[in-house]
Structure 1
Amino acid sequence: MGTFNCGAFVAGIVRGVLDGAGFPAVVTAHFVPMEGQQRPRTTILIKFAEEVLRREARLG
């Protein structure tokens, strides 16, 4: 078994919640180094499916 990545785990939870709510998306976790800090910051990137963007545009 490899190392545990908390950011990837949280990204999976976010994806599951979005998918369950009808907002399919690709969710990824990225480590961003921060100057003056020992550990990098985790950024969660959400890219919604095209169908979600079209639906939301129709709803205005």
Structure 2
Amino acid sequence: MLVKLHPVSSFTTNIANMERYDRTYGHLYNATGYTDRMTGDELGVFYLKKKGPFWVVSSVGSGP
């Protein structure tokens, strides 16, 4: 959200851990209240995966 220059969205978006882990993609999270300004679509869910000391978004979609 901050990378895409949506600083207000980082305060208004609710992010919840879905308690799922995938070996390929990482940890699954659900985001509600975030709409991408470029596409107009709601973010839905995303996977975070740890690569070395960093956490990266490995996949984004509308649902598992």
Q: Which has the higher Rg, Structure 1 or Structure 2?
A: 1
Q: Fold conserved (TM > 0.5)?
A: no
Structure with a larger share of its residues in strand: 2
After TM superposition, the score normalised by the length of structure 2 is: 0.30
Structure with a larger share of its residues in helix: 1
Higher relative contact order at CA 8 Å, sep ≥6: structure 1 or structure 2?
1
